[in-house]
Structure 1
Amino acid sequence: MKNELFAIGPIVVYGYGLMIAIGILAAYFVGEYRAKRKGLDADHIFNFVIWCVIGGFLGSKLLYSLTNIKNIIANPSLLLDFQNGWVVYGGIIGGIFSAIIYCRIKKLKFLPYFDLLIPSVALAQGFGRVGCLLAGCCYGHETNSPIGIVFHTSAYAPNNISLVPTQIISSGLNFLHFFVLIWFAKRKKADGQVGAVYLILYSIGRFILEYYRGDLIRGSVGALSTSQFISIFTVIAGVVLFIITGRQAPKEQL
């Protein structure tokens, strides 16, 4: 895998950054298209994307800082390292809170837009994990499996060792989540249930996949990784949201 894809003069195009950019653009265009199809105000989608990207990056950096507080206290300059130190769960939580704040400011109902945009989040994550593969971050345990992948010039993953392809598995799951959520969006009984299904699916998949991750520097809570610990609460939140919105749906139709 190669992170430095090509150069245009003095500008180097990195695979990770390129995939993140493609993911954000794909999320925006899909969200805008679906907003028009569903009768929601498509003019808000661009603002949602900007707010969620900013909130996501801040949340991702904040959670990384909290899980690595000892290292940061010892070396505060780590806070200024914008090439490393991001946690996906922090990005998800930060993005959701940013969307809630935007809806309050613009006096919009949050749940319809949550359901509209959450498939786009899964789509963006799918592209983002391709970027992880190119960079070599978020790598897996050493393995003798025939599906193992070997990095040779990664600045993050151990080189010349066969590793579980956690980036490929994660990317595939995220793309699968996107299609499942699009399918379920046509069958939901209440606003908020698509978002709930995303929280449930992502949390379960992430919890299991964490057992195969090899980058243990991300921190732990007891016997669980930080992401596994958070997954317990996000899957519970998803189940509760699904049940509550489902029970409220008949009342809203009366």
Structure 2
Amino acid sequence: MYPILFELPGLTFYTQTLLFIIAFIVGLLVAVHEGKYWNISRLDLTDIVLWGFLGAIPGARALFLLLSYKQISLSLSEFCTLGTLDGGFSFHGGLFAGGIVTLLAVRHHRLPVWRVADAFAPGLALALFFMRLGCLLNGCDYGIITTVPWGIPLHGAFRHPIQLYEGLGNLLLFPILLHMNKKPMKPGVTFLTYILLSALLRFAVDFYREEFVHVWQGMLISQWLALAIFIIATFAFVFDLPTRIFSTVHGVEHHSGLKESTDCD
């Protein structure tokens, strides 16, 4: 793999860091583009994406450390170590923490929560593709030993490239989500579709992940989290929660836009 991009005196720049920066940029650009469908300001979306990204990083790092370390106390240097094998992130931790910060930012800007979420969905899928590439080049979150022809040499053996499995899966979801946002759908449908399908993808991929510690009832903790997210998203679909929760923010109706007149109520 290629964990270190370049080194300078007193500075090591990791490939994973570069891929995370690319993920942020492409996610932002896609969100801004999708927000035009509902006349959501580019500046507002940029501010929301930035706060969500900043909130996701410590959340993802914190859950990774919580699941990876036996010690109770963690130093600030350990928390801030990025780009090394021990400098990984937890997707679910980032999703939870970033989601809370994003929600607060959306409420601050008095925007329609579910429409902002729909604008985010394609960008999240594309960003996760680049993030998983970063994990691959960093050599973390690796798969079990395999003899399949597409196995990659990593940590002394040929292994399932599960980073590519999840990354390519999200890349395939990207055009589907873009297409959904062009259609007259209820608020939140695109976002919930992404959450549901990405949770299924993560659940399936983690069967090929090498992990011997964080297993409960025959499945990884990450699989249980993915299963919980899938159930919540399914519940939201069945009971049509997007039209019941945050359909307006502080009494402000949805922004009128290119498609609002054709949205289902």
Q: TM-score interval w.r.t. the shorter chain?
A: 0.7 to 0.9
Tell me the CA shift for residue 13 of structure 1.
3.1
Tell me the CA shift for residue 11 of structure 1.
4.2
- Counterpart CA distance in 1 for 2:3 and 2:184 is 40
- Contact preservation (8 Å) 1:188, 1:194: no
TM-score relative to the length of structure 2: 0.83
2:135 is equivalent to residue 132 of structure 1: yes
- Contact preservation (8 Å) 2:55, 2:98: yes
Name the stretch that deviates more: 239-248 or 142-151: 239-248
2:41 is equivalent to residue 41 of structure 1: yes
The equivalent of 2:90 in structure 1 is: 87
Q: Which runs of 5+ in 2 are unaligned?
A: 245-262
- Counterpart CA distance in 2 for 1:188 and 1:89 is 30
SS of 1:72's equivalent in the other structure is coil
Tell me the CA shift for residue 186 of structure 1.
2.1
The equivalent of 1:76 in structure 2 is: 74
Q: Is the alpha carbon distance of 1:203 and 1:186 closer, same or farther for their aligned partners in structure 2, counting shifts above 3 Å?
A: same
1:143-190 deviation per Cα after TM superposition (whole angstroms, max 9, x unaligned): 011110003xxxxxx23x100011111110111122221122223520
1:25-79 deviation per Cα after TM superposition (whole angstroms, max 9, x unaligned): 111111112223442222111111111112211221232344346x131x53385
Tell me the CA shift for residue 91 of structure 1.
0.6
- Counterpart CA distance in 2 for 1:27 and 1:237 is 24
- Counterpart CA distance in 2 for 1:89 and 1:247 is 21
The equivalent of 1:234 in structure 2 is: 229
- Counterpart CA distance in 2 for 1:246 and 1:105 is 21
Alignment length (residue pairs) = 242
- Contact preservation (8 Å) 1:142, 1:164: yes
2:174 is equivalent to residue 178 of structure 1: yes
Q: Is the alpha carbon distance of 1:32 and 1:234 closer, same or farther for their aligned partners in structure 2, counting shifts above 3 Å?
A: same
Tell me the CA shift for residue 240 of structure 1.
2.0
1:113-139 deviation per Cα after TM superposition (whole angstroms, max 9, x unaligned): 001012111111100111111111111
- Counterpart CA distance in 2 for 1:224 and 1:166 is 16
The equivalent of 2:108 in structure 1 is: 105
Of structures 1 and 2, the one scoring higher in RCO (CA 8 A, sep 6+) is 2
2:202 is equivalent to residue 199 of structure 1: no
Pairs within 5 Å for 1:219-230: 219-230=214-225
- Contact preservation (8 Å) 2:38, 2:115: no
- Counterpart CA distance in 2 for 1:247 and 1:108 is 14
2:3 is equivalent to residue 3 of structure 1: yes
TM-score relative to the length of structure 1: 0.86
Greater helix content: 1
Q: Which runs of 5+ in 1 are unaligned?
A: 152-157
SS of 1:107's equivalent in the other structure is coil
Please give the root-mean-square deviation of Cα atoms over the aligned residues, in Å.
Answer: 2.3
- Contact preservation (8 Å) 1:199, 1:237: no
- Counterpart CA distance in 2 for 1:24 and 1:139 is 23
